[in-house]
Amino acid sequence: MSTQVHANLTEEQVKQISEGLDEPEWLLETRLDALDALEGLEMPDVIRTPGRNWTNLYDLDFAGFVDPLNAAEEKDQVGPEEVEVMSIAEALDEREELVREGFGSVVDPEENYLTALSTALFSTGTVVYVPEGVDAEDVTVRTRMNSQSLFNYTLVVTEKSSSVTILERQTTGDEVDGERYYSGLVEIDAGENSNVQYGSLQNVDEETYTYTLKRGHADSHATINWIEGNVGSRLTKSSVETHLQGEGSESQIVGAFFGHNDQHFDVAARVWHEAEHTTADLVTRGVLDDDARSVYEGVQDVGSDAWDTSSYQRENTLMLSDESEADASPKLIINNHDTEASHSATVGQVDQQDLFYMTSRGVSPRMARNMLVEGFFVPVLEEIAVEEFRDDLSDLVAERLRE
């Protein structure tokens, strides 16, 4: 199926965005190439289960909610002194070579229609650079979207034997008429023996459609740990991915989502084992209420050169209503016999025996259900090493249960 390019997207718009950021010529050319490529690109792959395509991105109404020249936001970008946390404009001014080497090195700008659209139109972003040997915590990026559409870009580069913890939050602020669109691309280049913990908590309003692609390359003995929380949005299309390219590299992907009303979640966690002695652990838990829907895909791909691989995956979805729908598609692809791996996925409703046990001891049915839901998320929360992120996610779950 071909993609309909929004007729109002023009080279002049792209040039205005680029001029506003005082960009070098190479980045403007990258944007224009991405714009030119739109007509021939397909939407990103969606998750399919037997007999059903869960998400139809071709129905996205770009004519209604993409407004590239009127992007507005409030953004906080803070971090400790030893690490460089820069807006994209600052990074292009002070670290152009770093941006030039990193931009598009992990996520192909023309990988699909939505990555190309984001490349052509992004107007905000953050670059985090961690020098060799530096240990940095508490890098925080808060983005409050105040416009019809917002295209965000994040680049993280860690040098040898460094470490960083990054938390990004996305929310919506000022009200706008009609639907919105938020797009975020994240690239992480983790150098040898470095450690990156990257957490993202999405809580935009339910008139907003979101597309995010987060991908990292891990060098030898590097670690990339992701935490992915999705609570807001009408339709969430999210993929978190790691390429374990260096010997002894590791990755953990911890995901959680909680949908209600008619929210739709299309979430994926994917790892490619491309070198020896690599390890991955994928853990996702989701809860659905009302008419909410979700589909999950987990991929562990073990390459032929990935000797002595360890790879594990668990996904569980809990449905609180008869009208909610969920499916999961865990995939284990093994091309090397020296592999220890497992994968599992479950979809089910609240255990009636647990509910009966609690209500028979004087707990109200609603309170009992809420306690079981909070307990359901505990295995995911226990995997989150960052206390601030764990508390924020717990608070959002509790808030959703009180509604």
Percent over 70 (pLDDT), the chain: 98
pLDDT above 70 for 368: yes
pLDDT above 90 for 124: yes
Alpha carbon of residue 304 to chain centroid: 28
Determine the pLDDT at residue 210: 97
Determine the pLDDT at residue 388: 87
From the list 254, 265, 208, 258, the residue with the least C-alpha distance to 233 is 208
pLDDT above 60 for 1: no
Determine the pLDDT at residue 46: 87
Band of the pLDDT at 363, cuts 50, 70, 90?
A: very high
pLDDT above 90 for 243: yes
Determine the pLDDT at residue 6: 63
Distance CA 8, CA 396 (A): 38
CB 39 within 8 A of CB 3: yes
Sheet containing strand 339-349, edge to edge, reads 73-78, 135-145, 163-172, 195-203, 223-230, 250-259, 279-288, 309-319, 339-349
Distance CA 365, CA 107 (A): 47
> CA of 49: how far to CAs of 55, 266, 328, in Å?
11, 12, 8
Determine the pLDDT at residue 35: 95
**At a CB cut-off of 8 Å and minimum separation 6, what does 167 contact?**
138, 139, 140, 141, 199, 200, 201, 386, 388, 389
Determine the pLDDT at residue 7: 63
Q: What is the tens place of the pLDDT at every residue in 295-321?
A: 999 999 999 999 999 999 999 999 999
Determine the pLDDT at residue 5: 56
DSSP class of residue 45?
P
DSSP class of residue 107?
S
Q: What is the tens place of the pLDDT at every residue in 23-64?
A: 999 999 999 999 999 999 999 988 888 888 889 888 887 767
Determine the pLDDT at residue 4: 57
Q: What is the tens place of the pLDDT at every residue in 174-226?
A: 989 889 999 999 999 999 999 999 999 999 999 999 999 999 999 999 999 99
* Average pLDDT in the chain: 94
CB 377 within 8 A of CB 212: no
Determine the pLDDT at residue 64: 76
CB 348 within 8 A of CB 325: no
Helix (H) or strand (E) holding 197: strand 195-203
Distance CA 244, CA 302 (A): 10
DSSP class of residue 42?
P
Average pLDDT over residues 101-108: 98
